[in-house]
Amino acid sequence: GNSVTQMEGPVTLSEEAFLTINCTYTATGYPSLFWYVQYPGEGLQLLLKATKADDKGSNKGFEATYRKETTSFHLEKGSVQVSDSAVYFCALINNAGNMLTFGGGTRLMVKP
Amino acid sequence: GAVVSQHPSRVICKSGTSVKIECRSLDFQATTMFWYRQFPKQSLMLMATSNEGSKATYEQGVEKDKFLINHASLTLSTLTVTSAHPEDSSFYICSAPTGGGKLFFGSGTQLSVL
């Protein structure tokens, strides 16, 4: 079956540091890939997505590139802010669009 | 680790009937649970936040009377799709946060309305 593996947290960074959260996946065919974010006390929100190989999703300074050759979708941000402190989830949807698989989540803590 | 159980995994019903989906936190208490809907080939849409002991908070555009949410206890939230129609056919998924700040997802319910 499909699976998503993301790096264990928590990740603790100082403000303005560079962020990378690794995500790799196992899936048949050509899934769509997503990063979701959950801020404290809130539900899940879509952060960015990519639907085919070499696509780059971007939003709010975050980026992730769909790398089929390495089955990865690593999340990056050049300069994090305290307000970026949240839990980040990598996910994929299969070809048929009817099965959603999440990674375990990575907590990011940004200190001033 | 924490587990969220969602039932049923698949349901097929006739138009006009109501369908109840259960979401249970098996080894932790959840005062809040989230309900999402996923449209084909698209991302999840947050529908509502259920709160134990009080009314659910619905996202804009979600019909409260169509999607009834009840958070009956610290381990159970239910979503009832009332008078279901074919356009309600979708994949519904719940999640529950732990006190430690992690979020766990149910396995989802595929609803097909004929």
Query: Which are the contacts of B72, defined by CB distance < 8 A and separation ≥ 6?
Result: B78
For residue B104, give the chain A residue with the closest CA: A104
Polymer length in residues for chain A: 112
Task: Report CB contact under 8 Å: A98, B91.
Answer: yes
Of B41, B49, B108, the CB nearest to A43: B49
By Cβ distance, the residue of B36, B40, B110 closest to A44 is B36
Closest by Cα among A68, A70, A69, A63 to A20: A63
C-alpha closest to that of A36 among B9, B95, B99? B95
Task: Name residue, tokens 């560079």.
Answer: A18
Chain A CB within 8 Å of residue B31 CB: no
Other C-beta atoms within 10 Å of B114: how many?
10
Q: pLDDT tens track of chain B, all 114 residues?
A: 557 888 998 899 999 999 999 999 988 898 889 899 876 655 567 899 999 988 999 988 999 999 999 998 999 999 999 999 999 998 899 988 876 656 677 878 889 999
Asked if B101 and A87 come within 8 Å (Cβ–Cβ), the reply is: yes
Q: Is B109 on the interface with A (CB under 8 A)?
A: no
